[in-house]
Amino acid sequence: MCDTRLVMENCIAFYRALDLQSLSKLRALYHDDARLIDPFGQHEGLSAIEHYFAHLLGNVTRCWFDVDQPLCEGDRAALSWVMHWAHPKLRGGEPLALAGCSMLLVREGRITWQQDYYDAGSMVYEHIPLLGIAVRHVKQRVAS
């Protein structure tokens, strides 16, 4: 098994039980100088990534991922996933689902770069009462 595929298998195992994991396990997955980019910002370095995860998990009651098999070529990988999560202030704490994908770069047996792609409106904004109405209206207008 190539190094990238092994790192992706470890990554998938981590994310499948994210809310049950110790964030100290991030050190085995991400390089000290890793960069994680998503629609909400850029996080430079392992300490910043750990802080970001701690903040995210501190605000939800559940969070886990269904992850498809990775596409790997050399030191690059792509993952498609569905994040399942629940936040006490969104939709009464009901579980929500969000589809997305991640592009990753692996070096020295750890992730050095990750960019996540997903619809931030579907994740948060559509679930805020008045703002949600506006976001859904704009999406409908663009789609028609």
Q: With respect to residue 135, please indicate whether it lies within any of the assigned structural domains.
A: no
Q: Is 72 among the domain residues?
A: yes
pLDDT tens, position by position, 53-112 = 999 899 899 999 999 999 999 999 999 999 998 988 877 888 999 999 999 999 999 999
> Partners of 114 in the beta sheet?
36, 104
Across residues 10-23, what is the average pLDDT?
Answer: 91
Residue 1's pLDDT band (cuts 50, 70, 90): very low
Structural domains of the chain, count: 1
How many Å apart are CA 125 and CA 76, to the nearest integer?
A: 31
Candidates 74, 84, 82, 83; CA nearest to 104 is 74
In a domain, 136, yes or no: no
pLDDT confidence tier of residue 13, bands split at 50, 70 and 90:
very high
| Domain interval for residue 52 | 3-118
What integer pLDDT is reported at residue 136 of this predicted model? 63
* Sequential DSSP letters for the chain: --HHHHHHHHHHHHHHTGGGS-GGGHHHHEEEEEEEEETTEEEESHHHHHHHHHHHHHT-SEEEEEEPPPEEETTEEEEEEEEEEE-TTSGGG--EEEEEEEEEEEETTEEEEEEEEE-HHHHTGGGSHHHHHHHHHHHHHHH-
Summarised one tens digit per residue, pLDDT across range 122-144 is 655 555 666 556 666 666 777 77
- CATH code, domain carrying 14: 3.10.450.50
* Domain assignment present for 130: no
